[in-house]
Amino acid sequence: MSNQVTIPFGTITITDTAKRLINECLETKRISCGRLVREFEDRFAGLLGVKEAVAVSSGTDADILALAVLHDFGAQRGDEVIVPALSFVATGNAVVHAGFTPVFVDIERETLNIDPARIEAAITSKTRAIMPVHLMGKPAEMDTINAIAKKHGLVVVEDAAEAHGALYKGKPAGSLGDLAAFSTYVAHIITTGEGGIITTNNEQYGDILRSLRSHGRNCTCKHCILNSGADYCAKRFKGVGGEDIRFTFDRIGYSCKMNELEAAIGIGAMEVYEDILKKRHDNLMHVLNRFDRFAPWLSTIKEEAHEQIGPHAIPIIINEGAPFTRAELTLHLEKNGIETRTLFVSMPTQCPGFEYLGYKLGQFPHAEYLGHHGLHIGVHQDVGIEEMEYVLAIIGSFIDSK
């Protein structure tokens, strides 16, 4: 293969079904959150085997609303949520926007995920939840995390933004905690272009989530999502004096509904989900199973016997003592048509926005190391084994030159 090969980080598959549904929406002029959003939610819930799925406008909003549910059960603004120090910044931002204080815990280098052995030391009387992140689609150690949460009476909210298709001991990510938040952004396996979705087996949580995404309104049943205009619903008029309860508000809410055009793309993506998942997983494992050739200078994650990694991307870590920098490797990959992303940063100590919390550089050595020495590249459905071989060859040529 020539150096003219290009491997963009992500892609989007827009099916004929999606295009047909989008055109129908445009013809009928019904594009706000309605029947297609409801259908997308039902399909997503069925895929994971959960009772409730509530679609919103982004994965960040999914995180925010999943946490905001806690206010209905006694949580106070300023209470604490434990999160890994390493994640896309949306994880930490969401905790703040939900009205809580993030308490950061370092990660394990080998898994990229929160170190379960460090969680209990971070729990205080103000802790209300633990939000593990399945980073790069590799499941966090959920049995241990759930046991800690149960012991201390905490809620577990999975940040499953990158974990479409991930399995942990036979169960899908998104069904392992009390609630879970997915992103359906363009780079993900199930995509709506922009969007997110929250899953739970708690029907009361589902009602609260439907209220939260629509300004905190009283009307929370699944019917009114249909926005069918003249379609009469007796439940709506049970307010004082027969008032429409869609315009009474029980809680501080948000405005973050998914729209019909996005849901149409998602419904199409669900039709080809298994094919996309298999291709991406095959791509990922082709590289991970051959990555030892780059030791000791480079490393990546491994798929353990108890799990299936959700094939979001290929993480690459430049190890101590390597005779090159991340910037040098990134430049080599980019010059050869392989698009890269950094492997995020330590939110509490490498993101200025969190300086107000008072953490100091050095408190999260593993997260901070990856903040300087990690990157990731795509494994999406528009590339295949030939392109993965190209990636390995380009990395190999770089290593050989050092």
**Average pLDDT over every residue of 357-386:** 97
pLDDT of residue 247: 78
The pLDDT, as a whole number, for residue 218 is: 80
Q: CA–CA distance from 82 to each of 102, 127, 188 (Å)?
A: 6, 7, 25
Instruction: Please confirm, yes or no, whether 188 is among the known catalytic residues.
Output: yes
- Encode pLDDT of 142-174 as tens digits: 999 999 999 999 999 999 999 999 999 999 999
Model confidence at 237, pLDDT cuts 50, 70, 90, reads confident
> Helix or strand or coil: residue 23?
helix
Q: Over the chain, what is the mean pLDDT? A: 94
16-105+113-270: CATH architecture: 3-Layer(aba) Sandwich (3.40)
Instruction: Give the pLDDT band of residue 1 (cuts 50, 70, 90).
Output: very low
Give first-to-last CA distance, the chain, whole Å: 22
The Cα-based distances of 16 to 20, 22, 164, 166, 266 in angstroms read 6, 10, 22, 27, 12
CATH architecture assignment, domain 274-400: Alpha-Beta Complex (3.90)
Query: Which of 71, 134, 164, 188 does the annotation list as catalytic?
Result: 188
Structural contact between residues 85 and 367, judged by C-beta atoms closer than 8 angstroms: yes
Question: What are 300-349's pLDDT values in tens digits?
Answer: 999 999 999 999 999 999 999 999 999 999 999 999 999 999 999 999 99
Q: What dihedral do alpha carbons 360, 363, 369, 370 form, nearest 10°?
A: -90
Q: Residue 238 region, left (φ>0) first, then alpha (ψ -120 to 50), else beta?
A: alpha
pLDDT of residue 165: 98
Report which of 342, 397, 348 is spatially closest to residue 9, judged by C-alpha positions: 342
Q: Count the residues in the chain.
A: 402
pLDDT higher for 218 or 368?
368
Give the residue extent of every domain in the chain.
16-105+113-270, 274-400
pLDDT tens-digit map of 22-67? 999 999 998 988 899 999 999 999 999 999 999 999 999 999 999 9
Confidence check: pLDDT of 93 > 80 = yes
